[in-house]
Structure 1
Amino acid sequence: YAGRRSSGTPFFRHAELQQAGVPVLAGIYGTNPAGGGYQGITPTILIAHKDANIAVGGAGIVSGMSPKGGFDVEGLEQLIAVTRDFKERPPGRVETHYAETGFFTRVCDEETGVLDGIKEYMRMIPAYDPMFFRVAEPAAPKLAADDLYHLLPFNQKETYTFEELLARLVDGSEHLEFRPDYGPEIYAGLVKIDGMAIGVIGNRQGLLPKGYPEYADYPGIGGKLYRQGLIKMSEFATHCGRDRIPMIWFQDTSGIDVGDAAERAELLGLGSTLIYSIQQIDVPMMLVVLRKGSAAAHYIMGGPNANRQNAFTLGTAATEIYVMHGETAAVATYARRAVKDKDSGKPLEPIAEKMNEMAQKYYDTSRPAYSARHGFVDEIVNLKALRGYLLAFTGAVYQNPTSTCPRHLMLLPRIIRG
């Protein structure tokens, strides 16, 4: 590495290489404190010898972290005792950075084993073996996919628990939820698909907690988007972009909240903010429209219409995609006409007939088959087969990524764990 910034250069060079999709492999031997620790932690894959360590400060540095303005015999005796202890159990040893933090990808008993490990990882490049990016061993969901048709009602007015669906689709039926106490209409969190990290966002259904949304005097209903939920999605997507984690969206949304209170709460701007965030982060995305994909909410929640990151979109037998519900469209179109006809003494039956015709047309042109034929979705899938599509998406996006973040340098899992 050229010395543009002297000995600190490898730190940012490693980041540059990985951001360009070039992995950095490191063999870790011996003691590596301070700058040596940072040079050791910044590569993509860390393969360590059993006696190696990497640390912010080694024995000598830690022992001298409390200066007293000079040295005397008593102080030296204390220093000797501390140094001996650190020599026996140095900071950043294997039991810490393999068994606890997971910084070390692999630990080898023999020094030659480290070199063999690097050769093995080199054989996985450039069409990456999945092991290169796995954060855990692959695992099937603990709960059966056969439950999905029971859990997802076809009736759009019936509610369900999004996490119950997710538990039938992801490894081990496990997830790490992002900000569970904020924006309750939205689920956001990390899951594993085939052992690899994926960010997930989905709509929750049903009546939301009392007092939400906080800016209005009416109750919040799941499926609709409010201020906190829009902010939460932008934050989560931004963190996924920073950590280079692909995203899967699960839509069942009736739209964004409307009215004076919603305008004062900046929802128009926050919806556009989410579009900006998605376009900025540049990570691959997949969308599953579970039931409703309505109005601008369909666009901003990873919809193929409003970003370049959407790889493909799936629908189900319950999918409905429309710019607005048919009855809403009919009211928006004919409400003023109805007022005029009423004031002029004209009969209202013709208007009611036209409104019903419009509502029916919206219904007919939002069905799953229509959505597939006209490219609103790429395919209508059997819910029991949905995990297979998630596996295919995950394997494809991790096979040859244009930009990576080492798992031990990811920020989002640490934010979630606190």
Structure 2
Amino acid sequence: MALSKTLVDELTKRREAALQGGGADKMEARHARGVLGARERLETLFAPGTFQETGLHARHATRAFGMEKKILPADAVVCGVGYVDDRPVAGFSQDFTVAGGSLGDTHARKICHIMDHAVKAGVPLVGINDSGGARIQEGVGSLSAYGQVFYRNVLLSGVVPQIAVIAGPCAGGAAYSPALMDFIIMTRREASMFICGPEVIRAVTGQATTMADIGSAEVNAAVSGNVHFVAEDDKEALAIVRRLLSFLPSNNMSDPPHAPGAALNLADDPALDALVPEDPKAPFDVRAVIARLVDNADFLEVMAAFAANMVIGFGRIGGIVTGVIANQPLVKAGTIDIDAADKAARFVRFCNAFNIPLLTLVDVPGFLPGVMEERRGIIRHGAKMLFAYASATVPKITVILRKAYGGAYLAMCSQDMGADKVLAWPSAEIAVMGADGAVNILYRKELTEAPDPRARAHELAEAYRAEFASPYLSAGMLFVDDVILPGQTRAAVALALRGLLSKRETRPPKKHGNIPL
């Protein structure tokens, strides 16, 4: 039988009330600042017409103090599933126009429901954060609600990719849900993320500060390393989400979206031969090498503003999605410091969790020396890289471009740390330490007595490189599989990746290893 007009009108009325959010005036104010609404953000992310919302008619807990008679449309958060590049993706978007996007019991239950769906369906989760924080009218219940979200963030970790977008305020405990996710994208103009605001810091410590100093996108991206990407506005942030998803599998049981062609292009690339200077101390931009190796120079760099002495990101080589880790000689001579070690280790662990092969490009003179690095725990942080690489079972290919000295050589995935294929360029130097340092230790007395100490030191250093650091020495000892010309690298890596896609490696049964945090 046909539904009565009364029932249809009631549904229409309720749906329109929920869809209006905080009202037309608030939406117009947002649009005037170039900011999208909560639903508009999800509509921008997903393919047109594919978004299916859940919890549209949700109501806040009526027991909330002072809010018994107030209706909050959709309880200030929009949740559902849509499609990105023909794949389903779960998402939620907090609505700041409704009660400041504050989180209470029902709000959190909606988020938890879509998170539960993501893990059951095996689809990525995208969370768009724009909230004033806990709904204080609900008291400790709002804290419990945050805990339920955090708990699920951990359950989803390593099962489905989790991407957070910070598109407005994200303060206090609210910041820990994004921090528990895999990637954070933050808009430059409207967003802020911090635990304690300037007023609290001033009241407790007496320090005067500003939001720009502690919670801006620039600080979170370049100083604290909390944020992986900075976007100018909502639309750019969501474009980054889509591009990032294009490299990621839907879940840990799926392969990444590889796109191998029927035939590999195995031609040499002579342009690579001229990119790296012969002088081992001369800087160069390793991103130029990466651009020649990945298909169509399409490389998505992650955390570009943080610990720039280490470059990480995603690309395809011969159509195979690959996570790239590389020392950057332009910054701190490519040494590994605490931040670079943390950056690389977490990226390696993410790639391993989601079946993404790893390519490591090595030009590292060592760990960064210094009193502060030692006191801050460079040993503990450097050990994270060793742990991450050694525990990774995905295909691992290492190419030694120039320097590979000491413990840093091991930390950049040597054969001993589980590399499946190790290649070296003729310019590679693999040794316990650099030639200059070794000569100063081994020939200190001889140099003091030499008529021209500088010339003699240079002569001894060249002899040391030839005898003790030559890539052919390592190849002769089977630590390096082959020494190749730079122009042959792309073809060699592409072939190795194809050959390793069927790799299977098991480890002793255990709950998990104890990474040195």
**TM-score normalized by the length of structure 1:** 0.57
Matched AA of 1:363: R
Matched, 1:363 2:485: no
Map 1:96-111 → 2, pairs under 5 A? 96=83, 98-99=85-86
Cα distance change on mapping 1:159 and 1:192 into 2, 3 Å = same
Q: How does 1:254-269 map to 2 (within 5 A)?
A: 254-269=365-380
Change (3 A) 1:400 1:334: closer
Q: 1:401 to 1:98 in 2, by over 3 A?
A: farther
Q: Which amino acid aligns with 1:328?
A: G
Q: Contact 2:363 / 2:400 at 8 angstroms: preserved in 1?
A: yes
Say whether residues 1:135 and 2:254 are aligned partners: no
Q: Does 1:226 align with 2:337?
A: yes
1-structure distance, mates of 2:492, 2:51: 40
Choose which of 449, 453, 456 in structure 2 pairs with 1:348: 449
Q: 1:401 to 1:53 in 2, by over 3 A?
A: farther
What's the counterpart of residue 322 of structure 1? 431
| Equivalent residue letter for 1:66 | R
Sort the Cα spacing of 1:151 and 1:97 in 2 relative to 1 into closer, same or farther, 3 A: closer
Per-residue CA deviation, residues 216-238 of structure 1 (Å, 9 max, x unaligned), is xxxxx222111211111111111
1:384 aligns with 2:487: yes
1:328-351 alpha-carbon deviations (Å, 9 max, x no partner): 01323455x689xxxxxxx83499
Aligned to 1:299: 410
| Cα-to-partner distance string for 1:288-345 (whole Å, 9 max, x where unaligned) | 001111111111111123x1x211210112111111122201323455x689xxxxxx
In structure 1, distance between residues paired with 2:311 and 2:291 = 13
Deviation of residue 358 (structure 1)?
5.6
1:65 alignment counterpart: 58
1:151: how far off? 1.2
In 1, distance between residues paired with 2:450 and 2:425? 37
SS at match of 2:421: strand
Q: Does the residue aligned with 1:255 lie in a helix, a strand or coil? A: coil
Structure 1 residues 67 and 158: CA distance shift in structure 2, 3 A? closer
Q: Distance in 2 between matches of 1:402 and 1:304?
A: 15
Alpha-carbon distance, 1:133 to partner: 4.0
| Structure ranking higher on relative contact order (CA contacts 8 Å, 6+ apart) | 1
Residues 1:326 and 1:146: Cα distance change in structure 2 (over 3 Å): closer
Q: Which residue of 2 is the match for residue 272 of structure 1?
A: 383
What are the residue-to-residue correspondences of 1:77-96 with 2, within 5 Å?
A: 92=81, 96=83
RMSD: 3.7
Instruction: For residue 233 of structure 1, give the secondary structure of its aligned residue in structure 2.
Output: helix
Aligned partner of residue 314 in structure 2, secondary structure: strand
Q: Which amino acid aligns with 1:312?
A: K
In the other structure, the counterpart of 1:79 is: none
Equivalent residues, number: 277
Deviation of 1:100 (Å)? 6.7
CA distance in 1, matches of 2:281, 2:434: 13
TM-score by structure 2 length?
A: 0.47
Q: Paired residue for 1:184, among 295, 298, 308?
A: 308
**Shift in alpha-carbon separation, 1:63–1:349, aligned structure 2, 3 A:** closer
Alignment check: 8 A CA contact 1:250 1:289 kept:
yes
Q: Structure 2 CA distance, aligned partners of 1:310 and 1:56?
A: 45
- The CA deviation string for residues 335-379 of structure 1, in whole angstroms up to 9 with x for no partner, is 5x689xxxxxxx834996997776354212222333322323110
- Displacement of 1:400: 5.0
What's 2:294 paired with? 170
Say if 1:354 and 1:255 are closer, same or farther in 2 by CA, change over 3 A.
same
**Equivalent residue for 1:78?**
none
Equivalent of residue 287 in structure 1, options 398, 401, 406: 398
> Which residue of the partner structure matches residue 194 of structure 1?
318
Q: In the superposition, relative to structure 1, how do residues 303 and 351 fare at CA in structure 2: closer, same or farther (>3 Å)?
A: farther
**Kept after mapping to 2: 8 A contact 1:294/1:321:** yes
Within 1, Cα distance between the matches of 2:461 and 2:494?
Answer: 38
Structure 2, gaps ≥5 residues long: 1-48, 63-79, 91-120, 122-253, 507-517
Distance in 2 separating the partners of 1:102 and 1:65: 21
Task: Report Cα offsets for 1:187-217 as digits up to 9, x if no partner.
Answer: 01111123222111111122x3xxxxxxxxx
Task: Give the match for residue 190 of structure 2.
Answer: none
Deviation at 1:68, TM superposition (A): 9.5
Task: Say which SS state the counterpart of residue 225 (structure 1) adopts.
Answer: coil
1:160 alignment partner, SS class: coil
Cα distance in 2 for partners of 1:254, 1:63 equals 57
Gaps of 5+ in 1: 1-51, 70-90, 105-131, 209-220, 340-346, 404-418
Q: 1:372 and 2:475 equivalent?
A: yes
- Conservation of the 8 A alpha-carbon contact between 1:321 and 1:376: no
Q: Which residue number corresponds to residue 346 of structure 2?
A: 235
Alpha-carbon contact 1:292-1:321 (below 8 Å) kept: yes
